[in-house]
Structure 1
Amino acid sequence: MNQAPELDDPGDPYDVDEAAQAVRRRATDTESRGANRGWWDRHADEYQSEHGAFLGDDRFVWGPEGLDEEQAGLLGPVAGRDVLEIGAGAAQCARWLAGQGARPVALDLSHRQLQHALRIAASVPDSPALPLVEADASALPFADGSFDLACSAYGALPFVADPVAVLREVRRVLRPGGRFVFSVTHPIRWAFPDEPGPEGLSVSASYFDRTPYVEQDEAGEAVYVEHHRTVGDRVRDVVAGGFRLVDLVEPEWPAWNNQEWGGWSPLRGHLIPGTAIFVCER
């Protein structure tokens, strides 16, 4: 496994994107992968600075609503289990899993995100040493049947053009009876503007338009890509990937959560779902 190097001083300058144009257009899996690796490497510092307090150092949260795995128990018993976290970011979920007695591996496409995992580990007393792997979720560098469980909180699946390829890879590395739980932006959100206030409550686009959301530079090169799938598409992807869908969870917005995170907010969260969590078994 590839251990990420030590984190540079977070104050060091990191390249930032020039003003990008947001469009809806086709984007291949290769284009999406390259754009999103670059975007997360450039914006990992900003992301962790803005959302790190909410995510915690060793908390497993499924989405902006704040649903914790400790409360939800969607993975089932984790103690003594080998667990793969896909799109781990700074490995907050994997760190929580280790604290529950699991043997987690944290995988992410972004080098900079994994550097933040090292930063947190160095700053938290008695933090467990986690295996960190920098790799593409469509080509997992593990042998067949390496894990009992796999999880992904907003990791990988929203950003790939071929989610079935990811699901088949996850199935391959799971043992028989293994469970994969992943969360994504709720598909209905694609029909509404990405705004947390009242302006985000009116339908502005077709829910059935699967054209990806792309941010591109002046030369037309993608610098960020996100792919839309309807609820039906996601269910069919799960089945095509060789899984059985056990549950589909749509977390309600809790009264204690008053934060805004992009288009997520208490106003919208009390009216429409923002996250969909798919519980799948091999």
Structure 2
Amino acid sequence: MIQESELPEPEATRRDTDVTESSRASRGWWDRNADEYQRDHGAFLGDDRFVWGPEGLDEAHAALLGPAAELKGKDVLEIGAGAAQCSRWLAAQGARPVALDLSHRQLQHALRIGAEGLGLVQADAEALPFADASFDLACSAYGALPFVADPVQVLREVRRVLRPGGRFVFSVTHPIRWAFPDEPGPEGLSVAASYFDRTPYVEQDEQGRAVYVEHHRTIGDRVRDVVAAGFRLVDLVEPEWPAWNSQEWGGWSPLRGNLIPGTAIFVCVRDE
């Protein structure tokens, strides 16, 4: 398995990229970097915790999917599951989770930790391989949505596989963060770019092929995407940085987390 550190340093740029290039880049990046990601962040994520983002907001306390006692017997789809930590927590509550990820290597980590009580599926979130109305709930903690060129297509697919009354909760990088440098220290506290510039962030190789892609949507864009997909938005959560959390994770840190939001969590319902 080739690690990112063994490859030539990619060029960071802002440019347009389509659905196919974004998907291909994401699959390759996560396959190459899954080992390092789980090594660096596995202790914080735990094997069977449901954490919504670097702030450490835990579903056991937030109950954004509903009270834990009411999860028993529910069919739940986790999108962008990584090593399926969230799905493992759901299974412990008596739910029937399916952990879906684009990356084969991430799902190998799910098997390494343990997949008892889980369904594991490798697939693209823009074309979910499930029948209509297959799930009661769906969730995604920083999975898929930040990396896809067509978020409305993902949301429509999630709505399709949810049963009427089903809830979809997803977290993404808070859009305001795109205006600031991705640095955890004081240098990350000054606005460096336009919040309204939707041009994707792309890292590309020497041939100009994207090896990492992340897409920016403003808060308003995200709300409109949810509505366009047929969901009703019932809550938008911006977790505050807790006093107990002293870790830095990329551009997330106690310094920045106490001043600007780092994560946005959208709670959506399919009414019919």
* Length-normalised TM-score, structure 1: 0.93
Match of 1:80 among 61, 66, 73: 73
Q: Match of 2:184?
A: 196
Asked if 1:271 is matched to 2:264, the reply is no
* Alignment partner, residue 119 of structure 1: 112
Q: How far did residue 15 of structure 1 move?
A: 4.2
Quote the offset at 1:129 in angstroms.
3.3
* Equivalenced residues, count: 265
- Work out which of the residue numbers 71, 80, 98 in structure 2 matches 1:105: 98
Name the SS of the counterpart of 1:140 in structure 2.
coil
Alignment partner of 1:168 out of 142, 146, 156: 156
**Aligned partners of 2:138, 2:268: CA distance in 1, in Å?**
10
How far apart in 2 are the matches of 1:24 and 1:80? 45
Corresponding residue for residue 68 of structure 1: 58
- Give a deviation string over 1:6-55, Cα, whole Å, max 9, x none: xxxxxxx4343321010000010100000010000000000000000000
- Which 5+ residue runs of structure 2 have no aligned equivalent? none
The match for 2:250 is: 262
Aligned partners of 1:14 and 1:83: how far apart in 2? 33
Counterpart CA distance in 2 for 1:67 and 1:268 is 16
Matched, 1:90 2:80: no
Matched, 1:142 2:135: no
Where 2:13 maps in the other structure, the secondary structure is strand
SS of alignment partner, residue 12 of structure 2: strand
Helix, strand or coil at the partner of 1:247: strand
Q: What is residue 207 of structure 1 aligned with on the other side? A: 195
CA contact (8 A) 2:184 2:256 kept: yes
User: Within 2, Cα distance between the matches of 1:14 and 1:38?
Assistant: 10
**Structure-2 separation of matches of 1:38 and 1:128:** 27
- 1:32 maps to 2:22: yes
Identity %: 83
Distance in 2 between residues matched to 1:35 and 1:280, nearest whole Å: 28
Q: Distance in 1 between matches of 2:119 and 2:63?
A: 23
Instruction: Report SS of the residue matched to 2:117.
Output: coil
Once the two structures are TM-superposed, the CA of residue 79 in structure 1 deviates from its matched residue by: 1.4
For structure 1, list consecutive stretches of 5 or more residues without a partner in the other structure: 1-12, 122-126
Moved beyond 6 Å, runs of 4+: none
Whether contact under 8 Å (2:96, 2:117) holds in the other structure is no
| Paired residue secondary structure (1:167) | helix
